[in-house]
Amino acid sequence: MILRLTGAAVRAVVVAILVMLPAFLLSETSQSALEFTRILATIGAVFVIYEYGFPTPSVIEFRFAAPYNRIRYLLMLALTLAPAYLISTVLDGNVLTGIFASIAINGFAVLDFAYSPVAIVADTLAGSDWALREVVGQAITLNIVISLSCVLAFCGAIFSNLWRFGDGNFNMWLNMPTYKSYDMTSLHKRLVNSAFASMLVAFLIPLFGPIIADIAIVWISNDGVLAPISITWVIAFWTYLPAIYVMRAVALAKVALHHKDEDKKKTEQRQTDEFIMRL
């Protein structure tokens, strides 16, 4: 129990650091925004202690299928730090350099066309500030590249069995706490349907980027102007959600395939046993 609580406390601190990092990277963060960020960090830390402090999960999926949640955390860390770094660099009057800056600049040049969700979100978040619009678009582009790279690596690791996800050691009921009410006969169908729904959500979220940006302008802006830290979090969440839904869909599909193979083996074994008994 002590070891479990210690692990929960360490995870809580790591989550709190993730929430606070953009506020420290952005020099123009106001005191009120900093205080609000501290509140969010505290809430996140308390939730993690509650979730990981008990032997069985209540909300978090794939808790015992490491490093699934660690990958999601590292992805969120990268998608938060990348826009914070780009925006802070430009606001401080410096010039973006390096390979990541090159990817961001060239990528946004490709995605900056009429009716592009990336261009629309950049226009909405930056308002009339043209320089900020450019760096916001570049930050979104860089996050998209990071997300796609992570998803492709995740899919490759699972389906090439570099990471033996969902094998015989996979405990379905501990890793998927919301599936406890489903029996084994309907489990495969439920997993397939959930995987399809997650993939559908992943493809729809990018299209709703302009709506998300408009909501941010209405709810958390000051006279129609978003603070840099708010822009950072909008970019991070918009690019993070599609990636984790694709990863969830792939993980559920892998588990469904495993259970289908297991059911097939059990059926074949039962038929073999019945044949032997008849002999």
Residue keyed to tokens 């959930």: 194
Where in the sequence is the domain holding 13, given as residue range(s)? 1-55
Q: Indicate the pLDDT class of residue 98, thresholds 50, 70 and 90.
A: confident
Last residue of a domain, one of 55, 71, 89: 55
Q: Does 110 share its domain with 161?
A: yes
Backbone angles phi, psi at 128, to 5 degrees: -95, 0
Q: Does 35 share its domain with 68?
A: no
Q: Does 43 share its domain with 97?
A: no
Which residue spans within the chain are E strands per DSSP? Answer: none
At 93, list the tokens. Answer: 């009057």
At 157, list the tokens. Answer: 């690791």
At 127, list the tokens. Answer: 């308002």
Q: Does 155 share its domain with 254?
A: yes
Provide the CA 135 distance to its chain's centre, in angstroms.
22
Backbone angles phi, psi at 58, to 5 degrees: -120, -30
Structurally, the chain folds into a number of domains equal to: 2
Does the pLDDT value for residue 9 go beyond 50?
yes
Comparing 4-18, 175-189, 241-255, 258-272, the range with the smallest average pLDDT is: 258-272
Q: Does 182 share its domain with 83?
A: yes
Average of per-residue pLDDT values in the chain: 84
> What's the pLDDT score for residue 168?
61
Tens-digit pLDDT profile for residues 127-175 = 878 888 999 999 999 999 999 999 999 999 888 887 777 666 677 777 8
> What's the pLDDT score for residue 120?
92
Q: Does 116 share its domain with 172?
A: yes
At 29, list the tokens. Answer: 């963060």
Distances (CA, A) of 50 to 8, 11, 178, 186, 249: 8, 11, 17, 31, 26
Does the pLDDT value for residue 67 go beyond 90?
no
> What's the pLDDT score for residue 278?
55
Q: Does 108 share its domain with 135?
A: yes
Q: Compute the distance between CA of residue 199 and CA of residue 275 in angstroms, rounded to an integer.
A: 42
Q: Does 195 share its domain with 123?
A: yes
Q: Does 49 share its domain with 101?
A: no
Q: Compute the distance between CA of residue 36 and CA of residue 158 in angstroms, rounded to an integer.
A: 38
Does the pLDDT value for residue 182 go beyond 70?
no
Q: Does 141 share its domain with 236?
A: yes
Q: Does 30 share its domain with 80?
A: no
> What's the pLDDT score for residue 2?
78
> What's the pLDDT score for residue 275?
43
173's CB contacts (< 8 A; 6+ apart) are 179, 180
Q: Does 46 share its domain with 69?
A: no
Q: Compute the distance between CA of residue 194 and CA of residue 57 in angstroms, rounded to an integer.
A: 19
Last residue of a domain, one of 55, 70, 93: 55
Last residue of a domain, one of 32, 55, 78: 55
